[in-house]
Amino acid sequence: MAWVSGLAFFLTPYMLGRLGKEMYGLYALVGMFIGYVGILDFSMDSTLVKFVAEHNAKKQFPELNAVIGWGLLFYALFAAVLAAVALLFVDPALALLKIPPQMIHDARFIVMVGLCAFAAAAVLNVFGAVINGLQRMDIFDGINMTVSVLTAAGTVFVLQKGFGVKGLILNYSAGLLSIGALYTVFAFRLLPQLAPSLVWSDIKMAKELSLFGLRLHVSRLANKVTTQTDRFFLTYFVGVGALAYFQIGNALVMCAVSVVGLASNTLVPALTEVAAANDGLRLRAAYLRCMRFLAALAVPLFAFIAVAGGPFITGWVGPGYGPARVIALALALGWLAVMSSEAGPATAIAIDKPQLIAWGALTNVAVNLSANFLLIRRFGLAGAGWGTALGLLLQALVTQVGAQRALGLHVRDYLRSVLPFFAAGLLSSALCAGAGAAALAFLTPQSRRAALGLLAWQGAVFGAVYGVWIWKTRVFTREETDFIMEKVALFKQRFALGGA
């Protein structure tokens, strides 16, 4: 839920003030548990998007309906398994994490409710794959944005009324289920031919989905493990209170991930449609264009967070959360590598080679688990950031190299596409850091107001330098500029029509 991440950024200071660091860290455990149990879905969601896009491009509607039918059956079984997991393993897991006795009751409640809501919503989210596969991200994002705003309002309400973490998880669960229900309604509106079928003669379809999902799932499994183990080791070695600092730094970076994710979510169906035409030259051109667009968006976002994380955090949640700065710095660098190269994994899915993603993900697992264990044990909170960042960096490198080899591209093709944006980001970061250091000679950002002033000053410098560099070097061709403007106009038009 990308829009939830964005709104959570604005709600975090309020939640910290109402809950305190300990209870806020406890609420963060829900995300950890859902992240772990989410690995049980064998990446069926991404698989459904790929096959819906492929069959829709070929107008093979009976096959598309069979894909959705098997997807619904799978997620119904998934929900049942997830409910059983919640009943059997939540208490041992909470005991392992050394949750204080006075917090056990609340911890059990929010984890159980969160897992059950996630399982139920997963069934309805099958229809979200239809919307994504049809490349109607305007509707997909519109649904998430609308429900996220309502969820944010609900968050304020339940905390204002004193319902605490129990009220938060009930509000969150209502949002998940509402999104699934809206996906269902709009999927049938967008595709009149949609009539999910489950005929046993289509068992070949089920096998095809399962095999593709299993190959893709190696990477999903690895990513789920590596994005959650930092929290596990941190809670185990340092305590649940440290999880609040990590969550603050992570939430800041995840806002940038969500913004880039809005663009990268379009890559799989779009590149799948190109790949279905068996035009290698066109696919390579589309891949490089996607790389440029992603770099143009990702570099300034993550680079600015890395260089201005301190005043960002103080201005956001107030003084006293300085330790979160190192988390924001480390994770910003790691996620920059991943999100700026998302065209690689998307291409691997489009050309039926999910194993290319798996190699990168397995590299992440090996590095992340060992680095987090050693670094958190030795350096505490800071170790969680750098251990995770190292794994993300190597994952991006391995996946990118594999995708380019599969497309027959040389490393110079990649560098020629993205280096102008990274050069702009490096120069902007250096001057932004210098501007921040100069400003510190006149003020000490110990208050939120002073921190916001420093942040505005650094943001103005960074934005001006980056913008002038991109404009002067003319990194986008006329064709690419026209393409961007066309997509922006189409996006505005669809929202103006209410997504109809």
The residue among 65 and 28 whose pLDDT is bigger is 65
Whether residue 122 is contained in a domain is answered as yes
Q: Which residue has the higher pLDDT, 6 or 350?
A: 350
Q: Is the pLDDT of residue 302 over 90?
A: yes
pLDDT digits (tens, 9 = 90+) for 241-277: 788 888 889 889 988 888 888 777 778 777 887 887 7
Apex 424 CA angle, 367 and 325, nearest 5 = 50
pLDDT classification of 499: cutoffs 50, 70, 90: very low
- The average pLDDT across 369-374 equals 90
What per-residue confidence (pLDDT) applies to 460? 95
Are residue 54 and residue 130 in the same domain, yes or no? yes
* 300 in any annotated domain: yes
pLDDT at 394: 92
Of the pLDDT bands very low, low, confident and very high (cuts 50, 70, 90), residue 201 is low
Distance CA 189, CA 367 (A): 45
User: Distances from the Cα of 179 to the Cαs of 71, 118, 150, 175, in angstroms?
Assistant: 18, 11, 11, 6
Is 70 exceeded by the pLDDT of residue 310?
yes
Residue 425 lies in a domain: yes
Query: Please, are residues 311 and 449 in contact by the beta-carbon 8 Å criterion?
Result: no
Higher per-residue pLDDT: 22 or 427:
427
Q: Do 395 and 257 fall within a single domain?
A: yes
**56 and 128 both lie in a single domain:** yes
Chain-wide mean pLDDT for the chain? 83
**Percentage of residues of the chain with pLDDT beyond 70:** 88
Q: How confident is the model at residue 6 (pLDDT cuts 50, 70, 90)?
A: low
Residue 290 lies in a domain: yes
Q: Is residue 324 part of a domain?
A: yes
Predicted local distance difference test score (pLDDT) of residue 3: 46
Query: Are 429 and 328 found together in one domain?
Result: yes
Query: 1-10, 26-35, 319-328, 478-487: which has the highest mean pLDDT?
Result: 319-328
Among 386-390, 402-406, 440-444, 471-475, where is mean pLDDT lowest? 440-444
Q: pLDDT (tens digit, 9 = 90+) per residue, 142-181? A: 898 888 889 889 989 999 988 888 898 899 899 999 999 9
Could you list the residue range(s) of the whole structural domain that residue 102 is in? 1-198
Tens of pLDDT, residues 12-24: 888 888 888 778 8
Is 219 a member of any domain? no
Judgement on whether residues 338 and 404 belong to the same structural domain of the protein: yes
| Alpha carbons 248 and 238: distance in angstroms, whole number | 16
Work out the burial of residue 259: count CB atoms within 10 Å of its CB; fewer than 13 is exposed, 13-18 middle, 19 or more buried.
middle
Into how many domains does the chain fold? 2
Question: Are 149 and 25 contained in the same domain?
Answer: yes
Residues 428 and 334 in one domain: yes
**432, 435, 436, 442 alpha-carbon torsion, rounded to 10°:** -170
| pLDDT attached to residue 262 | 73
What integer is the mean pLDDT of 182-201?
86
Residue 185 has pLDDT above 90, yes or no: yes
| 110 in a structural domain | yes
Q: pLDDT tens, 224-239?
A: 666 667 777 888 888 7
Domain membership flag for residue 203: no
- Give residue 301's pLDDT: 95
How many Å apart are CA 135 and CA 269, to the nearest integer? 6
What is the reported pLDDT for 495? 47
Q: In this structure, are 294 and 171 located in the same domain? A: no
Q: What is the rounded average pLDDT of the residues 440-453?
A: 79
* 422 and 327 part of one domain: yes
pLDDT value, residue 493: 57
Examine the domain organization and report whether 144 and 258 are in the same domain. Answer: no
Position 349 confidence tier, pLDDT thresholds 50, 70, 90: confident
Same domain, 190 and 88: yes
Looking at the fold, whether 192 and 290 belong to one and the same domain comes out as no
Cβ–Cβ under 8 Å, residues 293 and 338: no
- Mean pLDDT on 298-317: 92
Lowest model confidence (mean pLDDT) among 79-88, 167-176, 279-288, 454-463: 79-88
Give the residue from 278, 230, 497 showing the smallest Cα distance to 383. Answer: 230
Residue 498: per-residue pLDDT = 43
Q: Which of 211, 249, 279 is nearest to 42 (CA)?
A: 211
